[in-house]
């Protein structure tokens, strides 16, 4: 199975619930928001991540492929 490294930038701080929902992703917070980095399997998986952000009340600023994901 081929995966694609992705980065999702969101506004604001992540709650404990959001951190748990994205436990398989690398999370980095800064003053303006947070960056979630991880492997995306396919378009359906990516849309699921975006839907989870919406469910948790997170505003997605950007979503794009990245060259590599460090774990």
pLDDT in tens, 20-52: 999 999 999 998 899 999 999 999 999 999 999
**Is 71 part of a structural domain of the chain?**
no
CATH code (residue 49): 3.30.70.600
* Cα distance between residue 66 and residue 7, in whole Å: 6
Beta bridge partners of 21: none
* Residue of 39 and 71 predicted with greater confidence: 39
The answer to whether residue 69 scores a pLDDT higher than 60 is no
Q: How confident is the model at residue 70 (pLDDT cuts 50, 70, 90)?
A: low
58: domain range?
A: 4-65
């Amino acid at each position: 199975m081929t995966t694609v490294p992705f980065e999702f930038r969101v506004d604001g701080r992540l709650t404990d619930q959001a951190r748990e929902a994205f436990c398989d992703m690398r999370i980095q917070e800064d003053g303006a928001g947070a960056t979630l980095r991880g492997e995306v399997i396919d378009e359906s998986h990516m849309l699921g991540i975006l839907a989870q952000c919406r469910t948790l009340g997170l505003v997605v600023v950007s979503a794009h492929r990245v060259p590599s994901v460090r774990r």
